[in-house]
Amino acid sequence: MRVLVTGGAGYIGSHASLRLLQDGHDVISIDNVSRGHAQAEAVLAKIGGDRYSPYRCDLHETERLAEILTSHDIDVLMHFAAFAEVGESVDHPLRYHHNNIAGTVSVLRAIDQAGTSRVVFSSSRSTYGEPAEDQIPINEDTPQSPINPYGASKLQCERMLRDLAEAYRRADRPFSYAALRYFNVAGCDRQTRLGEDHRPESHLIPICLHTALGKREKMAIFGTDYPTPDGTCIRDYVHVEDLADAHVRVMGVLEPGDERRYNVGIGKGFSVRECIESSKRVTGVDFQVDEAERRPGDPPELYADVSKIKRELGWEASITDIDETVESAWKWFKSHPDGWPEG
């Protein structure tokens, strides 16, 4: 298939592109590298050769997007490009409405012009907000009530896809989409070709590894009095390679008229302390960890009910051991202590 990947130079988009290339697909990548990395594109170009075509393109360039979709006769669009920092979204909500929501409007207008009929959308468990305790594990029917602009932006994009699908159905036009609601994505390509490099970094496992590398003097646990076995928050960490596999799996089954929504996680959680202890085991570094007050908006426990995606697609995570996930990231961080080089 010919697959257009938005955000193809980013963490998840580049790993998905790698998997698509390994499976023999043609990848057409667009990214403005405001959050992605040209070095990731260079790695993919060496692997994909003439089956990999990167474009420096912004989501808001509707006409250019439509031209790229048409000229490559795209079969499937995978839409990863988005800002994804919860704290930033609270401080700069308009930035998230402009990039994530208006940017997706532009992408959907482009596919409407080009006639592309299949979309796999990168959504988030943040669309669920803070489910009640009796709604854990979270299934796809859990009410979506986001508590921050990031989660709200992803939910609005899901609604736009639903509305477009309904309009196409009334017009008797073929269209299908899947919205994959990720839980906490972690790890790196186990052959260390691609990695995770956010600036600034706000994700737990990379922060642990930066501290082990000496890039940070110390790190903190925010809240140690939660109603969990060790008092710290519990989250579901899905390996980025398994996440890429879920995209390929759902891409292969989309039929005209399909509207699919799946949680993507491992179906269990690890606590903040467990992730820190795993990082210390894997790295062999006993780095400093301070205890701090809780942060607002951190529920005690969030993990996925993944029975639907297993039942309908036969997908389940292959990497469920936290040490294996951390080790895959550590290999890349050790070989790229300063992240991707600039330029």
Residue 75, domain CATH: 3.40.50.720
pLDDT of residue 99: 97
pLDDT of residue 299: 87
What's the rounded mean pLDDT across residues 127-141?
A: 95
Mean pLDDT in the chain? 96
Give a yes or no: residue 291 inside a domain.
no
**C-alpha dihedral (229, 297, 83, 37), degrees to nearest 10:** -40
Give a yes or no: residue 190 inside a domain.
no
Give a yes or no: residue 328 inside a domain.
no
pLDDT of residue 297: 77
pLDDT of residue 343: 55
pLDDT of residue 296: 81
Residue 341 has pLDDT above 60, yes or no: yes
What's the rounded mean pLDDT across residues 65-83?
A: 98
Residue 248 has pLDDT above 60, yes or no: yes
Give a yes or no: residue 98 inside a domain.
yes
What's the rounded mean pLDDT across residues 266-279?
A: 98
The answer to whether the bond into 200 is cis (omega within 30° of 0) is yes
- Mark out the alpha helices in 72-197 (DSSP H runs): 86-91, 93-96, 103-114, 149-170
110: tokens are 């482009």
Looking at 9-13, 132-136, 318-322, which range is the least confident one?
Answer: 132-136
By CB atoms closer than 10 A (0-12, 13-18, 19+), residue 71 is: exposed
Question: Are 56 and 210 contacting, i.e. CB atoms less than 8 angstroms apart?
Answer: no
What's the rounded mean pLDDT across residues 132-148?
A: 95
State the residue range of the domain holding 55. 2-185+237-265
* Nearest alpha carbon to residue 258 among 177, 194, 188: 177
- What is the rounded distance in angstroms from the CA atom of residue 210 to the CA atom of residue 319? 22
pLDDT of residue 291: 96
pLDDT of residue 261: 98
pLDDT of residue 160: 98
164-214 pLDDT per residue, tens: 999 999 999 999 999 999 999 999 999 999 999 998 899 999 999 999 999
Residues annotated catalytic, as ranges: 150
Give a yes or no: residue 174 inside a domain.
yes
What's the rounded mean pLDDT across residues 291-303?
A: 90
What's the rounded mean pLDDT across residues 128-136?
A: 94
Give a yes or no: residue 343 inside a domain.
no
**C-beta neighbour count of 166 within 10 angstroms:** 12
For the chain, the domain total comes to: 1
102: tokens are 């208006």
What's the rounded mean pLDDT across residues 78-94?
A: 95
Give a yes or no: residue 340 inside a domain.
no
Give a yes or no: residue 196 inside a domain.
no
Query: Cα angle vertex 36, ends 74, 313, to 5°?
Result: 50
- In this structure, what are the phi and psi dihedrals at residue 301, rounded to the nearest 5 degrees? -145, 130
